[in-house]
Amino acid sequence: MSLARRHRETILAAQAAGATLPSATGPAPMPSEGPVATEYQTLLAALGVHLNELRNIQSVERKIEAKRSMIGTYRAWVDGALAGALAAGQAPQDEIVANMLVWAIDLADWPLALDIARHVLAHGLSLPERYKRQPAVAIAEQVAEAGLGQDVTVDLKTLLRVETLTATHDMPDQVRAKLHKALALAFTAAADAFDPTAESAVAGGKRALLDNALTHFRRALGLDAGCGVKKLIEQTTRDLAKAAQAASGEPPA
């Protein structure tokens, strides 16, 4: 795609934010005529082709690689949509932006995912119909699952930001428990890797990291007794006691 085309898409996406006013029941629909509508429909058609291609791929790994090559088609539009909404204080329902939120999470592109998540939640956008979930629920669960798998693809800072973003939104307790468990595991990993000589060492050291882990494990258990953290709580409690002894100079018990 040429730079001129990218610039045009960015400008038109930004204009969409102020083109129509939201209703009492949610964000306004995308304009149905004019240059904004024409560009939007062109991109929607491309997205339809890409989604059909993805449906024909059985491998999750290959789907992700395909999305990695496809997402650039929509990046200029997304950038413009987010910038336009920031300036106008409103945003229309945008299927391109909504789909790219899911793709960004799948690709573990956390800066982009967080930017779109903030936009979607702030302006009350819906996810594509196939997801059947409220945006905050999908965001919390999919990001949490990225921290619960065998290959962790999300960092502690991102998990904390997602917790803050979704804190006031209603969701099933089991979903929020997943997020707290993922946070606890991330704090545990940070404690395991803690280097007291590093310039970025957190205040309170390893004990503070383990204490945070224990808090999130307990919160997860309180939300969902079957979330699989009881043994992790026991282990973290022991590790915290050892860290406290080491900090005080006492011999191990």
pLDDT tens digits for 51-103? 999 999 999 999 999 999 999 999 999 999 999 999 999 999 999 999 999 99
With 70 as the cut, is the pLDDT of residue 32 above it? yes
Mean pLDDT to the nearest integer, 2-12? 88
Helical (H) or strand (E) element with 44: helix 35-55
With 80 as the cut, is the pLDDT of residue 210 above it? yes
153 is a domain residue? yes
140 is a domain residue? no
The domain boundary, picked from 97, 132, 167, lies at: 132
Domain shared by 95 and 204, yes or no: no
* CA distance between the termini of the chain: 65
Output the six-digit token pair for 214. Answer: 């224990």
The domain boundary, picked from 84, 106, 132, lies at: 132
Q: Rounded distance, CA 152 to CA 133, Å?
A: 24
143 is a domain residue? no
With 70 as the cut, is the pLDDT of residue 203 above it? no
Domain shared by 24 and 72, yes or no: yes
In our burial notation (b when 16+ CB lie closer than 10 A, e otherwise), range 176-197 reads bbbbbbbbbbbbbbbbeebeee
Across 100-109, 195-204, 244-253, the highest mean pLDDT is recorded for 100-109
pLDDT, residue 231, reads 97
Alpha helices in the chain (DSSP H): 3-17, 35-55, 60-70, 72-88, 95-106, 110-123, 135-146, 156-166, 173-192, 205-223, 230-248
Mean pLDDT to the nearest integer, 104-115? 98
Q: Tell me the three state secondary structure of residue 23.
A: strand
Residue type for position 180: H
234 is a domain residue? yes
Alpha-carbon distances, residue 53 vs 57, 91, 99, 195 (angstroms)? 7, 29, 15, 46
Domain shared by 22 and 125, yes or no: yes
Report yes or no: 138 and 168 within 8 Å, Cβ to Cβ.
no
Domain shared by 125 and 1, yes or no: yes
Name the pTM for this structure: 0.91
With 60 as the cut, is the pLDDT of residue 233 above it? yes
pLDDT, residue 248, reads 67
The domain boundary, picked from 132, 159, 178, lies at: 132
With 60 as the cut, is the pLDDT of residue 250 above it? no
In our burial notation (b when 16+ CB lie closer than 10 A, e otherwise), range 108-132 reads bbbebbbbbbbbbbebebbbeeeee
208 is a domain residue? yes
Report yes or no: 101 and 67 within 8 Å, Cβ to Cβ.
no
Domain shared by 121 and 224, yes or no: no
> Which region among 156-165, 208-217, 240-249 has the lowest average model confidence (pLDDT)?
240-249
Domain shared by 74 and 198, yes or no: no
pLDDT band at 111 (very low <50, low <70, confident <90, very high): very high
More confident residue, 19 or 237: 237
The CB density around residue 247, as the number of other CB atoms within 10 Å, is: 12
Domain shared by 203 and 124, yes or no: no
With 90 as the cut, is the pLDDT of residue 237 above it? yes
Domain shared by 112 and 183, yes or no: no
Q: Rounded distance, CA 153 to CA 145, Å?
A: 9
Across 30-34, 112-116, 237-241, the highest mean pLDDT is recorded for 112-116
pLDDT band at 251 (very low <50, low <70, confident <90, very high): low
138 is a domain residue? no
Domain shared by 59 and 179, yes or no: no
Domain shared by 118 and 156, yes or no: no
User: Residue 23: beta bridge partners?
Assistant: 26
Domain shared by 187 and 232, yes or no: yes
Output the six-digit token pair for 70. Answer: 């496809």
Q: Residue 221: give the domain boundaries.
A: 149-248
139 is a domain residue? no
With 80 as the cut, is the pLDDT of residue 23 above it? no
pLDDT, residue 60, reads 94
pLDDT band at 197 (very low <50, low <70, confident <90, very high): low
36 is a domain residue? yes
Domain shared by 9 and 87, yes or no: yes
What total number of domains does the chain contain? 2
